[in-house]
Structure 1
């Protein structure tokens, strides 16, 4: 069993705390993605699992064994790096087999394991080539093969696709996901790419400034962000935010852009904030041109188009709205592309609002 448990784990460099009391449970055979902005501590967390970073305090368990002081090679984990870390003078077969040779395994067993891994990864015809003769995607598959043959209990991935082009990244993230399920191993995957996080993980763990902000399935994080940071971080384009004032009776609200009725789903939360300011967030897909917005409970506002991004299946518009400092992002029918400088009226689906406390920034 290869569950992973962080119990109040702290990682410090001198007086600087990089990881601040991390509590996290990763189930056996689960694919968990660690995501967050640069410097949030996600790679440090991965390296602590691998044993490449010491733990300042707390406990880290793999299975039922505390591994704080266990040597990396005794942890039964395999790590795939962003840089591939292949030996340039070795062939593909030799790179894949390198760790097995260090263990002094029989040659026949090594050959079988290398051949099986190569077949799984489509590398059978490349076994005699050197890394310089391979594409980026092929090199990444060799790095995966080197990890597979060890038959570890835990796979660790440190931004393994960041050096690949967009099309190959799509292919490789699907391949990694299928491989993990087929092998039935626990996987922890670090990325700064939201698309990778949303499409690959059984659960996503979002870190910010060394603290775990929220853990959940991709849809849980998207639909119910626990605070303003998660709301703004998960989703592309980013969630819009605006401060509103709840009426004294808690039934309606006003703001410097639009006003409306408090949605029924937020009635209880709004009632606790009568006469007070709160932060509301709303996704770009819930802001449409007025003639496209079909919902019943909506608020309209005028704006001037600043930037237009035509994506084929949809158009993303960034608009300037009088009285509001930040641009508001919305989406439009791809066959009705506006131009920069056009003045338009937009409508927001109020039933899709997310409400956050203006002081704590936590979800109400």
Structure 2
């Protein structure tokens, strides 16, 4: 197996920098997820590991070896694509065995490896079928099997589940995560879906506009986002963010519709920002009707209900504040669902607030 390390890696097309000095280490046997909005550079990062994109500057290590100029076939990586990339005229067996045959491996060894991969992926009864006779999930398993039989040092996944329906995506992401743990192969998985990232990754690297905004465990990113972008990107629905002014004595933060007593754990961050603006964040699950919680420290927020999303076990309520029509979101008990157009006064759990600098967007 192998670790992967980016040292100040830059990728440019002419004068346009796609990756802007990436420093990132992926540990041996780790499942790392690269996540971010479209165009952030995550697929480019993956393709640089595979050798499908040249590095403009910096160093990329796989294990102890700098691979900037190493040919893709000599990097000992296997890639699973969004499109499956199966040969339609070949059977499942032939698709899985294709790379092994190119290496002129002995037939007995090919049989053993293909059978082993097919058993692992539940494809043993499908080896004589061609791709057109398979479902989307089965085709994805064949693509995984083709990667597994190579026994690479690194697995690379480029949005492999985006062509599947919602139910099958849930099933396949669990299968891929479990397979990676069983095989113990260092894996890098690209997705724009932060739910996939949260449920699959040992750690997540959040990219935005070619920059690494934060790397950490799913819980790290959810509980302590490093900046406003990560705070709003990680979590469904998004974190609520309000720009508020710190009082001159540092004891309160105020907005036209909300006043919050500064929690004691904010003392260091607030002290240098008296009289200045900061961003205050709170997640939708930390906004409730007074009858739905037993929180000790709260602040009131009022608004008008504009959208209601019923999810079965809970309801997501979209609201706007009365003065600026600024939106915010609350998660509420489905049995206490309000009516569209209702004006509600809710409570924010001030023990769960997040504070960010008003100029740099960084966590305080």
Q: Same fold (TM over 0.5)?
A: yes
Name the residue aligned to 1:195: 195
* TM-aligned CA deviation for residue 166 of structure 1: 1.0
Structure 2 residue runs of 5 or longer lacking an equivalent are none
Name the residue aligned to 2:317: 317
1:359 and 1:343 mapped to 2: Cα distance?
A: 33
1:295 and 1:178 mapped to 2: Cα distance?
A: 38
2:232 and 2:23 mapped to 1: Cα distance?
A: 23
What is the SS of the residue equivalent to 2:335? Answer: coil
Written as runs of structure 1 = structure 2, the 5 A alignment for 1:165-314 is 165-314=165-314
What is the SS of the residue equivalent to 1:164? Answer: coil
C-alpha contact (below 8 Å) 1:247/1:254 kept by paired residues: yes
What is the SS of the residue equivalent to 1:347? Answer: strand
2:356 and 2:321 mapped to 1: Cα distance?
A: 22
Larger CA deviation: 96-105 vs 322-331: 322-331
Name the residue aligned to 2:334: 334
* TM-aligned CA deviation for residue 260 of structure 1: 2.4
Cα-Cα RMSD: 0.9
1:26 and 1:208 mapped to 2: Cα distance?
A: 18
What is the SS of the residue equivalent to 2:302? Answer: strand
What is the SS of the residue equivalent to 1:199? Answer: helix
What is the SS of the residue equivalent to 2:33? Answer: strand
1:101 and 1:77 mapped to 2: Cα distance?
A: 17
Structure 1 residue runs of 5 or longer lacking an equivalent are none
Moved runs in structure 1, 4+ residues, more than 6 A?
none
What is the SS of the residue equivalent to 1:95? Answer: helix
2:99 and 2:332 mapped to 1: Cα distance?
A: 53
* TM-aligned CA deviation for residue 254 of structure 1: 1.5
2:325 and 2:188 mapped to 1: Cα distance?
A: 39
TM-score, scaled relative to structure 2: 0.99
Name the residue aligned to 1:129: 129
1:177 and 1:16 mapped to 2: Cα distance?
A: 35
What is the SS of the residue equivalent to 1:335? Answer: helix
What is the SS of the residue equivalent to 1:43? Answer: helix
2:213 and 2:324 mapped to 1: Cα distance?
A: 28
2:145 and 2:253 mapped to 1: Cα distance?
A: 58
1:324 and 1:221 mapped to 2: Cα distance?
A: 30
* TM-aligned CA deviation for residue 106 of structure 1: 0.6
* TM-aligned CA deviation for residue 171 of structure 1: 0.9
2:324 and 2:25 mapped to 1: Cα distance?
A: 42
* TM-aligned CA deviation for residue 295 of structure 1: 1.3
Name the residue aligned to 1:83: 83
What is the SS of the residue equivalent to 2:334? Answer: coil
* TM-aligned CA deviation for residue 98 of structure 1: 0.2
1:186 and 1:21 mapped to 2: Cα distance?
A: 23
2:169 and 2:179 mapped to 1: Cα distance?
A: 15
Written as runs of structure 1 = structure 2, the 5 A alignment for 1:25-36 is 25-36=25-36
Written as runs of structure 1 = structure 2, the 5 A alignment for 1:46-65 is 46-65=46-65
